[in-house]
């Protein structure tokens, strides 16, 4: 992770510690960065030239949810067990068919992740075909986010907090609130020296003929990993219910193989989805210089949201300063006494 990207992730972590993410801000940035490295030439060269913006903006979809702008929260998940029982063959794969069976409101409640990925894949293909390379960079960044969400097991179930399986759920809004937060946020932040360095297999990056079908396959595989994740959290919390270092060491020991596999799978899928859009568009020749990325136009209220973020950061910094000053004063008093 580059220095600029590191600071972006740090600021986001301070400003929005309670957002329910697919793989945390750190995770999404690392997945996108690794996916860029896995791409073959000549497409890989274009993504490398623009990797700073593409990787950093892969967290945008979660900020839209926090700010209540853009794509809503239900586009980030699909609680398949709200619609059907495993193996979920009763869920129509096409959105129109699913609406006819369940109704739009029920689908929104359960989530629409597979269809969000398919829609954004179509938009990326059109941008490749029409040579809109600035849009290619922008849409690749956001598509990466949603593809990565499909590999997170707890984005596939109504038991996403572990609330139905007896896993500890805390009333606070911090990174230890639930198994979902602890797995996607706490674990990756506790062991960055490991999880930041993961990279998938280049040989697994290949054209996907049917992205929607692949997404459903990925979601079902992710759902199958839920028992492993819940069990690891329970055993780790039995050892340290305060969720301190002992908890995360145990969670890392038990969950690392699963998390490693899913993060690498996310990287391979993201790169494959990008490659598939490019090939479907006829393999247009990418530009050999950095494009000017016209990120999303400011919406009404964005300035107010930006101000809110700044205020939050100032309050956090002030609180930390007060705590430090208080600790220093107490230390001096003890010395005098």
Three-state DSSP at 158 gives: coil
Q: What is the pTM of this model?
A: 0.83
State the burial class of residue 289 (Cβ atoms within 10 Å of its Cβ: 0-12, 13-18, 19+): exposed
Tens-digit pLDDT profile for residues 192-240? 999 999 999 999 999 999 999 999 999 999 999 999 999 999 999 999 9
Q: Which pairs with CB-CB distance under 8 Å and at least 24 residues apart come from 63-72?
A: 63/12, 63/16, 65/19, 66/16, 66/19, 67/302, 67/305, 69/299, 69/301, 69/302, 69/305, 70/296, 70/299, 71/116, 72/108
Residue 118: per-residue pLDDT: 98
* Whether the Cβ atoms of residue 54 and residue 32 lie closer than 8 Å to each other: yes
Q: How many CB atoms lie within 10 A of CB 6?
A: 14
Quick check: 112 and 78 in contact, CB under 8 A? yes
Q: Residue 69: what pLDDT?
A: 85
pLDDT at 295: 66
H or E element, residue 114 = helix 113-130
Q: What is the pLDDT of residue 43?
A: 97
Pick out the chain residues at pLDDT < 70.
1-22, 293-337
How do the domains of the chain map onto residue ranges?
A: 3-297, 301-337
Predicted pLDDT of residue 175: 80
Instruction: Scan for tokens 């972006």, then name that residue.
Output: 8
| The CATH number of domain 3-297 is 1.10.575.10 | yes
């Amino acid at each position: 992770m580059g220095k600029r990207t590191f600071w972006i992730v740090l600021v986001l972590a301070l400003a929005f510690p309670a957002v329910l993410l697919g793989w945390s801000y750190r995770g999404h940035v690392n997945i996108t960065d690794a996916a860029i490295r896995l791409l073959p030439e000549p497409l890989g060269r274009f993504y490398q030239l623009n990797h700073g913006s593409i990787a950093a903006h892969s967290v945008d979809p979660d900020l839209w949810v926090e700010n209540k702008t853009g794509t809503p929260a239900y586009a980030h998940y699909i609680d398949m067990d709200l619609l059907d029982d495993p193996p979920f063959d009763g869920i129509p794969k096409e959105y129109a068919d699913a609406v006819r069976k369940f109704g739009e409101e029920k689908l929104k409640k359960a989530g629409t992740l597979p269809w969000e990925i398919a829609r954004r894949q179509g938009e990326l293909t059109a941008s490749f075909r029409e040579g809109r390379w600035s849009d290619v960079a922008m849409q690749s960044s956001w598509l990466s986010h949603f593809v990565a969400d499909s590999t997170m097991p707890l984005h596939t179930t109504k038991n996403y907090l572990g609330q139905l399986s007896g896993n500890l759920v805390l009333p606070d809004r911090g990174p230890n609130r639930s198994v979902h937060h602890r797995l996607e946020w706490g674990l990756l932040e506790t062991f960055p020296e490991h999880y930041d360095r993961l990279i998938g297999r280049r040989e697994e990056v290949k054209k996907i003929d049917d992205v929607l079908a692949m997404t459903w396959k990925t979601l079902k595989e992710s759902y199958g990993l839920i028992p492993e994740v819940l069990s690891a959290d329970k055993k780790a919390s039995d050892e340290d219910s305060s969720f301190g270092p002992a908890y995360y060491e145990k969670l890392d020991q038990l969950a690392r193989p699963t998390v490693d596999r899913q993060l690498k799978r996310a990287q391979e899928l993201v790169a494959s989805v990008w490659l598939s859009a490019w090939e479907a568009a006829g393999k247009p020749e990418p530009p050999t210089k950095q494009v000017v990325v016209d990120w999303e136009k400011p919406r009404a209220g964005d300035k107010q949201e930006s101000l809110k973020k700044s205020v939050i950061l100032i309050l956090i910094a002030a609180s930390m300063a007060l705590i430090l000053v208080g600790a220093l004063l107490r230390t001096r008093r003890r010395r005098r006494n």
